[in-house]
A and B are shown apart, each in its own frame.
Chain A
């Protein structure tokens, strides 16, 4: 049990540590044979690498969608869905997608594995399908151009979502602070939150965090719409969301395993204190992030 966890943790450390790119191009004179085509070079930082592979997958998806349309064959369709899934996995590995908020939720609420996974999955599907709703609304209800309209919708949802994230941070901070200091005299009470209770509580929060429509899904859907393939577009959006959910869930699994492994070494009294401090720290971080992004969007 312990060995796979260590391997997983090491892998994540390695991924986080990959920051060095490689200088690729020596001096050369114009007209010389050596020219750069950087988009064919998968070396670089972690973000550059996942951006490169996202570009590759996007490029692969285009002809497959066309093939699915012209041949009505299931093979390109399945391949496109698999690529959409992979694209979602990589896409969520980049910045955003509620990973920090999900981690904070897991750390602060003593969430069960199931609750954490559901929380992350809900964020991913909310992020993906808010994009679907946004595209359909602009296309069939508002009937305006996507440029400008999408920006306006995205701007509004960002304000709502980031405000809610700041509020969630405040809530986590207050709740963790209360359980740490306010409940100090009630040592007999269990520190575990009942999973059923936490699930009910987090559903609206997860939906709110994922409210900002994912531009990647928007573009895939618009591409399908340009070929009159709305249902395939929605299917691809679903698979991209599933991929994003997998990445967020991996983070949840690692965090919960790491947290459980760490806390088993402390006596219960200490666990409460450590959890309280972790929760307060998470709350402050989430609130700060929410306010920071809110400020940037408003500015």
Chain B
């Protein structure tokens, strides 16, 4: 019995040592994300993404960028905010990961960035162009919103998916945990929005 206890204790020591997570960033910022699927008359045009930051991180942004304390970001403040506290996320693909028919789609640019202060929280909105022409058969687009460095914990907000100009298309969506593509040392599974669409009467 005593030998077993010793063995157990030894194994735990080794397990603790081996499995202790690494000394690297962990979520310090929390944000709720939603995506609006925007269609045009050719097919999918892109995604209008919204992030709502937690109040503590929001207070940091407000302190830094709402210099005149008006409770909103004036155009010069917005421009500085975009440059210093948004475009720096380009290397992290703006936390937006897309696959079109199974192939990864690299975001080359984003547009229409705005930021507002709403009930003490900062809300970012921007558009991610992603043109996928519709045809008679279903096209499949997968969208995951996460920060692979896990400094930001991104979770899907209430009503995470909405639509714009989708009346010409048959559209289905699925939201589920992607168990095949964990990130951050294989510890975190992203939520994945799978969008399938085709032309109506196709």
Looking at the complex, which of A41-49, A114-122, A167-175 is the stretch in contact with chain B?
Answer: A41-49
Asked if B181 is at the interface (CB within 8 A of a chain A CB), the reply is no
A224 nearest in chain B by CB position:
B59
Q: Which A residues are in CB contact (< 8 Å) with B156?
A: 36-39
Cβ contact within 8 Å between B17 and A100: yes
Q: Which A residues are in CB contact (< 8 Å) with B27?
A: 51, 54-55, 94
Q: 1/0 per position for A26-67, CB-CB distance to B under 8 A? A: 111111000111110000111110010011001101100000
Cβ contact within 8 Å between B64 and A30: no
Give A147 to B30 CA distance when docked, in angstroms.
17
Cβ contact within 8 Å between B157 and A30: no
Q: 1/0 per position for A80-117, CB-CB distance to B under 8 A? A: 00000000000100111111110110010000000000
Interface of B is mostly: mixed
Q: 1/0 per position for B100-127, CB-CB distance to A under 8 A? A: 0000000000000000000010000000
Cβ contact within 8 Å between B174 and A48: no
The residue from A13, A218, A222 contacting B15, defined by CB atoms under 8 A apart: A13
Give A56 to B29 CA distance when docked, in angstroms.
12
Looking at the complex, which of B43-51, B130-138, B184-192 is the stretch in contact with chain A?
Answer: B184-192
B27 nearest in chain A by CB position:
A51
Using a CB-CB cutoff of 8 Å, which residues 44-83 of chain B contact chain A?
54-57, 59-65
Q: Which A residues are in CB contact (< 8 Å) with B184?
A: 47
Asked if B96 is at the interface (CB within 8 A of a chain A CB), the reply is no
Nearest-neighbour CB distance to chain A for B90, whole angstroms, equals 15
Q: Which A residues are in CB contact (< 8 Å) with B7?
A: 262
A259 nearest in chain B by CB position:
B13
Q: Which A residues are in CB contact (< 8 Å) with B16?
A: 12, 16, 103, 251, 254-255, 258
Give the B-binding residues of A (Cβ under 8 A): 2, 5-6, 9, 12-13, 16, 19, 21-31, 35-39, 44-48, 51, 54-55, 58-59, 61-62, 91, 94-101, 103-104, 107, 145-148, 165, 215-216, 218-220, 222-223, 225-226, 251, 254-255, 257-259, 261-262, 264-265, 282, 285, 289, 293, 296
Give the A-binding residues of B (Cβ under 8 A): 2-3, 5-10, 12-13, 15-17, 19-30, 32, 37, 54-57, 59-65, 84-85, 120, 150-151, 153, 155-163, 166, 171-177, 179, 184-185, 187-189, 191
21 residue pairs A–B, Cβ–Cβ below 8 Å: A2-B5, A6-B8, A16-B16, A27-B174, A29-B173, A48-B189, A59-B55, A61-B56, A91-B26, A94-B26, A95-B26, A96-B26, A103-B20, A145-B65, A215-B28, A216-B28, A219-B60, A262-B7, A262-B13, A264-B6, A285-B17
Can you list the 9 inter-chain pairs with the closest CB atoms, starting with the nearest?
Answer: A95-B21, A258-B9, A39-B155, A94-B26, A261-B9, A262-B10, A215-B28, A25-B175, A219-B56
